Chains A and B, each alone.
Chain A
Amino acid sequence: MSLVRSHVLICGGTGCTSSGSMSIHEKFEVCIKKFGLEKEVKVVKTGCFGLCEAGPIVVVYPEGAFYSHVKVEDVERITEEHLYKGRIVKELLFKQALEGDVIKSVNEVQFYKKQKRVVLKNCGIINPEVIEEYIAFDGYKALGKVVTEMTQQEVVDEIKKSGLRGRGGGGFPTGLKWQFTHDAIGEEKYVACNADEGDPGAFMDRSVLEGDPHAIIEAMAIAGYAIGASKGFIYIRAEYPIAVDRLEIALKQAKELGVIGDNIFGTDFSFDLEIRLGAGAFVCGEETALIESIEGRRGMPRPRPPFPANKGIFQMPTLLNNVETYANITQIILNGAEWFRTIGTEKSPGTKVFALGGKINNTGLVEIPMGMTLREVIYDIGGGIPDGKAFKAVQTGGPSGGCLTYKHLDEQITYDNLVSLGSMMGSGGMIVLDEDNCMVDVARFFLDFTVDESCGKCTPCREGTKRMLELLNKICEGRGEIEDIARLENLAVNIKDSALCGLGQTAPNPVLSTIKNFRHEYISHIEDKKCEAGVCKALLKVTITDKCIGCTACTKVCPVDCISGNRKEMHVIDQNLCIKCGACIEKCPVNAIILK
């Protein structure tokens, strides 16, 4: 391999791909040939950089120049100015990468500065479709160490010592799970990876699989060695086509090089992996439903016990971990449990990846050491709320989590702390809400999701969540009664207490936490028939203010003829007829019509 002087890294994650990074990639290849730089510059398609809001992203090393919102038309200019003449194109840089005249490299940008990249270490650095690049970054070294130098129990002990907890949301100690499966007796044992990420807006696991698929394959082989399994399953949703492709490529390459297959590293240890595609049911992220689905049945949870560690896939002991959990394993083996414990807090060591979304400037993927405060994530990394709006709440844990308010901004992000505040870590969704978000509507959004995704097996989840949604709809439509809040609370408590699986047991959380922290919004919806945030359409009125110039433009577009008034006089809307379509608001030349 010849040495090159510059690397052009182009994000090949899902976000940047859908905004055209593949044609940018092709254009770079063309332009580099045009300037005769093919021997000096290498173009690499990488995994996700995290700052999806700024996509498509191109980073040029060794300078670390961080180009954002790159268009195909910009490529020739970057090639000529930067790669050919050596002058960074300042106008095309990410705006925070330029302070006055000083150019900041990608790692100095505020968004990345406070992050700690363990899980996403290789994402945005290596080409995920080339196994050699992974190996160059210490890939498969941990697997080699494990199978040649460590006993099974030593591996389990190392994971136990690290204090790693399940990143899928529950936070169960990973080492303990490995120990249970190691100790369980069965003719055969299986290792499984839960890549059925389904929370709305979450894409942590997707990015890891797209950016660093070998890290998961290697970790699963290590897990296989530790518990005594020779077969593994990766259960991934079919809606992640890029991740599935890269996983397939990675698996093929790993098998060709013999790091997966028979007699790995010349030892007695053999391990095979199979990819199983999920059909997009959220409930299949629940471990027992996932197992049912792998076995070829309808994805419905089984009662526990027996737990998968004793009776999992095909009734055999099964170790099931989430993608992000596995992504920590090679690092722990290579750097040691002590190193891992230096990151994060005592009870929640390590980092956590969050998908930052909603009303926030820097939308994207962030990896932070546990124990960081919500404020640091939202303001320092996320860059605060856009358009000077006021922060209202942050939703963590997806449909299983809850909403936290400004009171909680200085709370630390750890498993136990978030639960004690009435939310949860979840798999890592973090949605920021501002003054324009109605909290009743937010609760309704998440419940609508769980109602759709309930498998229908147990009564509380199938019937109960549906009834909660009905009550929320009633409130949002202005038909709410004050007793409905108590009804919601009673249903919520009982569903939490009696549902079969995690989906049902946590489904009421968004409702309970919004009632707890934003009860006044529920009451104003019910008693005053008002939605302060201006979201619940049924509670809003279209009114004409005294700015009206009587131009009659609105009367002409109104589809139900509910606006009356003489020319050059103020017009009036008949509220009984108005269907709130908003056509008049758009037409008004002086912005005299408002929806409130």
Chain B
Amino acid sequence: MKKVEISINGKKIEVPSNYTILEAARENGFRIPTLCHDERLKPSGACRMCVVEVEGARSLVTSCSTPVRMGMVIKTNSDRVVNSRKTTLELLWADHNYDCLTCNKAGNCELQDLCYEYDIDPLASPYIKYSTNHVDKTNEFYIFDEDKCILCGKCVRACAELEGVGAISFSQRGHYTHISHPFEKEMLLSDCVSCGTCVSVCPTGALMEKTNNKFRNWDIDKKVTTTCTYCGVGCQLELVVHDNKVVRIDAPADSINKGITCVKGKFGYKFIDRDDRLKMPLIRKRGKLVESSWEEAYDLIVSKMKDTLENHGADSFAALSSARCTNEENYVLQKLFRGVIKTNNVDHCARL
């Protein structure tokens, strides 16, 4: 790619000509705050947090959507830029729910962080706070709290562009604009597949997982990167661990699945700590399932298999593997049945 020379805050740098100002700045260590930007999505230019000053331009420009040009002179932190960002944040805050104290998103909220960074006085807003008191709890896995929504539109775009579903969109106009399902129906009645991608991209607490786990984001012990065990796709997930329990699943945007999840990967982790989770093999003895050791269980399986092979032949066997297995596990299973037992009765449950 052809390179162009630009200047950011007085420093001359060279970047590929297809870069946006934001890409050029971030790659060279200049911080520009964003709320509606996500590199996986087409730029929308809605939040106006990423504005920068470009010499010769009439107004401020959004760095997320403006491509670099040869000789461009950019200021990312001038008084004019900072004043504009502060006004934008004040306006967003003026209509935002005040419950940072008890909000589950606190500590992981982009709006909160930026208000802190830009010294927004939470009590100084001269404006009326409008509340819709509209909280949609109809979905099994997450809630939507309209009063915390800043209309960045990431959920709408992620649903359409990443997940390819398009279950939500904007409704009404101007100050009445809100995120809605078709015909203002509740979430449950929409095309939503509960993949949770919208929850992952939401910068505030407007879209949040329904959870009983009480933890603060600053108390998180660690995040464990893992491969989802639900199917063979191999999505990368981050298990958020607090007090030795998985309390949330995050999906890193730079992973192979680009942070997109399905309902199981995102929300189906609560079995981990269930009391009735199967942890030891069970053997049916006199009509009752009784817990046993692994050795005893394996011995029983081997003896039954040998017995069946001798008395009924190889084709009395059939193997059915689970979609939760990896390719390697599936390979080993079919090898066992074709090579050792010598039957081709091998199948797989492709659904889960």
* B126 interfacial by beta-carbon distance below 8 Å: yes
Cα distance, A418 to B84, chains bound together (Å): 26
Minimum CB–CB distance from A499 to chain B (whole Å) comes to 7
Contact A305 B67 (CB under 8 A): yes
> Which of A454, A496, A497, A500 has the most chain B CB within a 10 Å cutoff?
A497
Minimum CB–CB distance from B302 to chain A (whole Å) comes to 63
Query: With a CB–CB cut-off of 8 A, which chain B residues contact A495?
Result: 87
* Given A303-B65, A451-B175, A470-B128, residue A498 in contact with residue B84 (CB < 8 A): yes
Query: With a CB–CB cut-off of 8 A, which chain A residues contact B150?
Result: 459
Contact A303 B48 (CB under 8 A): no
Query: With a CB–CB cut-off of 8 A, which chain A residues contact B92?
Result: 459, 463
* A464 interfacial by beta-carbon distance below 8 Å: yes
Query: With a CB–CB cut-off of 8 A, which chain A residues contact B314?
Result: none
Minimum CB–CB distance from B64 to chain A (whole Å) comes to 8
Q: Which residues of A446-493 are within 8 A (CB) of B?
A: 451-460, 462-467, 470, 487, 490-491
Contact B170 A462 (CB under 8 A): no
* A77 interfacial by beta-carbon distance below 8 Å: no
Q: A305, A456, A497, A499: which contacts B173 (Cβ < 8 A)?
A: A456
Nearest B residue to A454 by beta-carbon distance?
A: B174
Contact B62 A497 (CB under 8 A): no
Contact A500 B48 (CB under 8 A): yes
Contact A497 B59 (CB under 8 A): yes
Cα distance, A48 to B67, chains bound together (Å): 46
Minimum CB–CB distance from A474 to chain B (whole Å) comes to 9
Contact A463 B59 (CB under 8 A): no
Minimum CB–CB distance from A310 to chain B (whole Å) comes to 11
* B151 interfacial by beta-carbon distance below 8 Å: yes
Cα distance, A300 to B87, chains bound together (Å): 22
Minimum CB–CB distance from A150 to chain B (whole Å) comes to 34
> Which of A305, A455, A459, A465 has the most chain B CB within a 10 Å cutoff?
A459
Q: Which residues of B123-149 are within 8 A (CB) of A?
A: 126-128
Query: With a CB–CB cut-off of 8 A, which chain A residues contact B84?
Result: 494, 497-498
Contact A491 B174 (CB under 8 A): no
Q: Is the interface of B mostly helix, strand, loop or mixed?
A: loop
* A281 interfacial by beta-carbon distance below 8 Å: yes
Nearest A residue to B44 by beta-carbon distance?
A: A303
Contact A453 B67 (CB under 8 A): no
Query: With a CB–CB cut-off of 8 A, which chain A residues contact B70?
Result: none
Nearest B residue to A483 by beta-carbon distance?
A: B126
Query: With a CB–CB cut-off of 8 A, which chain A residues contact B51?
Result: 497-498
Cα distance, A452 to B174, chains bound together (Å): 6
Contact A463 B95 (CB under 8 A): yes
Contact A303 B59 (CB under 8 A): no
* A298 interfacial by beta-carbon distance below 8 Å: yes
* Given A460-B91, A463-B94, A463-B175, residue A498 in contact with residue B44 (CB < 8 A): no
> Which of A305, A453, A498, A505 has the most chain B CB within a 10 Å cutoff?
A498
Q: B48, B59, B66: which contacts A458 (Cβ < 8 A)?
A: B48
Cα distance, A453 to B173, chains bound together (Å): 7
For B154-178 the 0/1 string (1 means CB < 8 A from A) is 0000000000000001101111110
Q: Which residues of B44-81 are within 8 A (CB) of A?
A: 44-48, 51, 59-60, 62, 65-67, 80
Query: With a CB–CB cut-off of 8 A, which chain A residues contact B88?
Result: 459-460, 494, 498
Contact A496 B173 (CB under 8 A): no
Cα distance, A452 to B87, chains bound together (Å): 21
Contact A494 B46 (CB under 8 A): no
Contact B59 A498 (CB under 8 A): yes
Q: B47, B60, B126, B173: which contacts A454 (Cβ < 8 A)?
A: B173
Q: List 14 A-B contacts (CB under 8 A).
A: A302-B45, A305-B67, A451-B175, A454-B174, A457-B153, A457-B177, A459-B150, A459-B151, A462-B175, A466-B174, A467-B91, A467-B127, A490-B87, A499-B48
- Beyond A457-B44, A462-B174, 5 additional contacts (C-beta under 8 Å) are A458-B45, A497-B80, A498-B87, A500-B45, A505-B59
